[in-house]
Amino acid sequence: MTFLGFIFAQGLSALSQAAILFFIASGLTLIFGIMRIVNFAHGAIFMLGAYVGFTAAALTGSFLLSLLLAPIVVGVVGMAFERIFLRPLYGRRDGGAYLLLTFGLAIVLNELIRVIWGPQPLAAGIPDLLRGVVIVLGQPFPLYRLFLIALGVAAAIGVWQFLERTRAGLLIRAVSQNAEMVHALGTDVDLVRTGVFGLGCAMAAVGGVLAAPLVTAFLGMGTTVVIDAFVIVIIGGMGSFLGSLIGSILVGFVQVLGAYYFQDLALAFMYFLMLIVLVIRPGGLLGKED
């Protein structure tokens, strides 16, 4: 076992963790950037994705198909929630109402999942196709984690290109900068908002489906994840897509290395990182001061 190989394997492990975190954090930051809404229910949405993905995989027998179906279902649920509950609040001055409402949604979703799927954890298991190990620099490394890294990289590039190159991406960036002007120019801003909320939820669902084989789907998985995601978004800067990518990688490394070297203090390290960033730059690494 070479030292270099060990370091490399740890780094890969951290990156695969970062990939899952990125799916959640990027959706969260996207929603915040466009709508100024802090979606506290994002963790519950992630959890819903894991459970729906489990059922989809059980019904269709294909993990890859569930990776496609779960985001669609959860995205539609997210859009419906935005349309019915969030839209009436847009006029309110107090941003706290969003926080409270999505907090309520987190509780309700948590309970609905308990009622539908039952309280016991669901072990999804790594799909056969992605089982096995790859030897990287003399170290065995799970294939599934490499798959996660590849997917994470693909998603980061995909969303970035979507935002930069397409007309829909252009509209999204425009709404985040000046919603009133975009509205005045004849675009249905509410539709853009609904779409972005659905997209953010769908990405969280992908994260949920991907995480389920590693940690098994359990009630409460949303809470730990939503805190991680918020830490990432706060570190990276609220609303900054690139910031969420950097934050995910930072937190991924802190979590994996922290868990390896200081078992009990891994969580503390993550908060410590956030505190340092907030004390130096209250708006996050790439965020604006508010």
From residue 54 to residue 93, what is the string marking binding to other proteins with x (rule CB under 8 A)? -------------------------------x--xxxxxx
The token pair that represents 187 in the structure block: 């675009």
Q: Does residue 157 sit in helix, strand or coil?
A: helix
Stretch that binds other proteins, among 100-108, 175-183, 185-193, 196-204 (CB under 8 A): 100-108
Summary count for the chain: helices (H), strands (E) = 11, 2
From residue 141 to residue 180, what is the string marking binding to other proteins with x (rule CB under 8 A)? ----------------------------------------
Closest CA to 206 of 1, 24, 5: 24
Q: Which of 2, 59, 96, 131 binds other proteins (CB under 8 A)?
A: 96
Q: Which of 122, 149, 168, 267 binds other proteins (CB under 8 A)?
A: 267
Closest CB 85 distance from other proteins, rounded Å? 7
Q: Check residue 223 for interaction with other proteins (CB under 8 A).
A: yes
Measured from the CB atom, is 34 or 148 closer to other proteins?
A: 34
- Asked if residue 226 lies in contact with residue 64, where contact means CB atoms within 8 angstroms, the answer is no
Q: Does residue 217 sit in helix, strand or coil?
A: strand
Q: Check residue 268 for interaction with other proteins (CB under 8 A).
A: yes
Q: Can you spell out the DSSP letters for 105-143?
A: HHHHHHHHHHHHH-SS-B-----GGG-SEEEETTEEEEH
Q: Check residue 7 for interaction with other proteins (CB under 8 A).
A: no
Q: Check residue 140 for interaction with other proteins (CB under 8 A).
A: no
Task: Output the CA–CA distances (angstroms, integers) from residue 224 to 42, 230, 240, 289, in the order listed.
Answer: 11, 10, 22, 27
Q: How far apart are CA 38 and CA 266, in angstroms?
A: 26
- Asked if residue 191 lies in contact with residue 35, where contact means CB atoms within 8 angstroms, the answer is no
Closest CB 155 distance from other proteins, rounded Å? 24
Binding site for other proteins (CB under 8 A): 38, 85, 88-97, 99-101, 103-105, 107-108, 110-112, 115, 223, 227, 230-231, 234, 238, 264-265, 267-268, 271, 274-275, 278-279, 282, 290
